Structure 1
Amino acid sequence: MDAGEDELISIGVFAARVRLSAKALRLYDRLGLLPPAYVDPVSGYRYYRPEQVERARTIVHLRHLDMPLAEVAEVVALMGRDGPAAAERVGAYWADVEARLAGQRALVDFLRARLDGRTSLMSERYTTETADVPGCTVLSLKRHVLVGELPAWIGTTLDRLHAVAAEECGGVAAAPFVVYHSEVSQESDGPAEVCVPVRDARAAREWAARHGNGVGVREEPARRLAYTRITKAEVAQPMILNAFEAVERWITERDLRVAGPCREVYFADWAAAGPTDPVCDVAYPVRTPSGP
């Protein structure tokens, strides 16, 4: 061993001290999360230093939160140089977990009620109404996307189109929305279309002609929408599917006809909203059987 060998701790002793198996320590070494301080060139045996104990215990705590290893690596990389940033990263991860759990909790309540025969829960949880929405000019971006990619893609695209609308097209004229032209699931990729209504149609077309890079401009016709309002937690998959189902059932019960692809209308500030705050209308364009 090199100088300072008295400070080195064998992998067995280190594993017991930090409550990790030797197998886990070897994995974390391969991933670059917790490389040993010294590896015997002959035996390949690993040794650690006392100052690595805190890093190892932090990894253990993060894994107890079910944090993926890639995100654990991000936090650990920040530990030595920017503690507040590391703490913020943990907070952001847990906020995402709580949002997901809120959606799953609502889904569990819904499924328990459905399975034990309380079918009235559908109408109790979701109140469906209609609204007449005027036509508008929209900036839009359409893409084939699977359900796991959907939240990040919607968020990024909305930010992009909002910025263009504000800077180039006279501002945002109405709530943005996402149109599903075909099913989006783990196996089906839509396409889906993000739309942001703009105030200046001419400016939007000129901008798209110069800089569109996939972004188009189109006229969205006036529509009558049947919709139900949901919270931020309920937007998560698969809970949101129950809202779509509730609107579909309401439409059928009233002998209306679906007159276009389903959509999500985002009327609230997503970043500022909490899990139980209303943020989105799940909607279908509708008409009467004799209507246009």
Structure 2
Amino acid sequence: MQEELITIGELATRTRLSLKALRLYGDRGLLPPARVDPRTGFRRYGPAQVERARRIVLLRATGMSLTRIVEVLDSSGEKPVRLLTSYWREQESVHVARRAAVGYAREVLTGRSPTMYEVSERDVPEQKVLFIQRHVTAADLPGFLADSSELLFSHLRQAKACLSGPLFAVYHGLVSKDSDGPVEICAPTQSPDVEPAGHIGVRIEPAHREAYTALTKQHEGYSAMAAAHDAVGVWLAEHGYAVSASHREVYYPNWATAEPGEHVADVAIPFRPGPISDLGKVNR
């Protein structure tokens, strides 16, 4: 027996979704109708679309993006639950990072000297690095970090070379919802055979001294990172040091697998003794 199809209006009534949302989901491939009349363009939906719409509503209530909802709903077996669990862990991590940033901002707004971040100094030797540079906002930053890292790793493999230290990002300008850097993702290597290719450049990173603060996995989110950049900059100003190069973040190999309390990254700023430089205004 052929299943009974319903109109988009009836689907809206059953799901409480607006006609605008249903059309948007259909156009995005998230909720395609069971049938579209080739002459009138009228959309018809079956029981499968009603159930799918119900699941979209539930997942949107968690704050999940439409792109990720497609991935969840188009998966099978236990994968949808794993994807949802992974998404929620990310959201909890973001919440923890924002809570740390709020605590830091509260100290700043009350006029107290922030104490949340312990800042140290170290010397960094000259090193050869492969790099990819792009203008990105905060929303695009995670994808750029992941994609660029994979391209750099692939280039190293093709050259039969390897990393000589952890990946790091150089922030030549502020990265936020409104500001787009630019940002360089850098892979250090000692191989003399690695050459530029496509969007991948090669340069020598000068030796320098830098101030840095170590971050754990639970504080690796954007908000906590932004507070850490500010804290290191304040430390430099208080010690009378001049910023000598752009801010950076160092990412250690355990970044993706670490427990909440494990050290996964550093926020660092190269400096030299002397008057405060205008470069000190450049941060994440």
Matches within 5 A, 1:239-250: 239-250=224-235
The equivalent position to 1:56 in structure 2, one of 53, 60, 68, is 53
Larger relative helix fraction: 1
Change (3 A) 1:14 1:230: same
Q: Per-residue CA shift, 1:46-73, capped at 9, x if unaligned?
A: 7654455432332222122122233323
Measure, in 2, the Cα distance between the counterparts of 1:180 and 1:101.
Answer: 24
Match of 1:136 in 2: 127
Query: How far 1:276 sits from its partner (Å)?
Result: 4.2
Residue in structure 2 matched with residue 236 of structure 1 by the alignment: 221
Q: Is the CA contact 1:132–1:225 (under 8 Å) kept in the aligned structure 2?
A: yes
| Residue identity in the other structure for 2:56 | I
Task: Provide closer, same or farther for how the CA distance between residues 255 and 64 of structure 1 changes in structure 2, counting only shifts above 3 A.
Answer: same
Cα separation, partners in 2 of 1:163 and 1:255, compared to 1, 3 Å: same
Percent of pairs identical after alignment? 39
Aligned: 1:75 with 2:68? no
Deviations 1:28-51 (A, max 9, x none): 455554455578999999765445
Gaps of 5+ in 2: 276-284
Counterpart of 1:97 in structure 2 is 91
Structure 1 match to 2:159:
168
Larger Rg: 1
User: Is the CA contact (8 Å cut-off) linking 2:15 and 2:50 kept in structure 1?
Assistant: no
* Alpha-carbon shift at residue 173 of structure 1 (Å): 0.9
Corresponding residue of 1:252: 237
Q: CA deviation at 1:91?
A: 3.0
Q: Which residue of 2 aligns with 1:20?
A: 16
Tell me the TM-score normalized by structure 1: 0.77
Q: 1:44 to 1:139 in 2, by over 3 A?
A: closer
Q: Does 1:119 align with 2:102?
A: no
Any idea what SS the aligned residue of 2:163 has?
coil
Which sections of structure 1, spanning at least 5 residues, go unmatched?
Answer: none
Partner Cα distance (1:229, 1:29) in 2: 46
Letter of the 2:69 counterpart: V
1:262 and 1:55 map into 2 onto residues whose CA distance is: 46
Q: Which amino acid aligns with 1:147?
A: A
Report the aligned-residue RMSD.
3.3
TM-score (norm 2): 0.79
- Residue correspondence of structure 1 range 195-206 to structure 2 within 5 A: 195-200=186-191, 202-204=192-194
Q: Distance in 2 between matches of 1:237 and 1:145?
A: 13
For 2:279, the equivalent position in structure 1 comes to: none
Structure-2 change in CA distance of 1:50 and 1:178 (3 Å): closer
- Partners of 2:39 and 2:155 lie apart in 1 by 62
Letter in 2 for 1:254: H
Q: Which residue of structure 1 lines up, in the alignment, with residue 252 of structure 2?
A: 267
Give SS of 1:102's match: helix
- AA in 2 matched with 1:141: I
SS in 2 for 1:238: helix
Q: What is the CA distance between 1:269 and its match in structure 2?
A: 2.1
CA distance in 1, matches of 2:31, 2:186: 45
Q: Tell me the number of residue pairs that the alignment of Structure 1 and Structure 2 aligns.
A: 274
Name the SS for the 1:203 alignment partner: coil
Aligned pairs for 1:139-154 (under 5 A) are 139-154=130-145
Q: Which amino acid aligns with 1:203?
A: D
1:66 maps onto 2:63 in alignment: yes
User: CA offset at residue 225 of structure 1?
Assistant: 0.9
Q: How does 1:169-184 map to 2 (within 5 A)?
A: 170-184=161-175
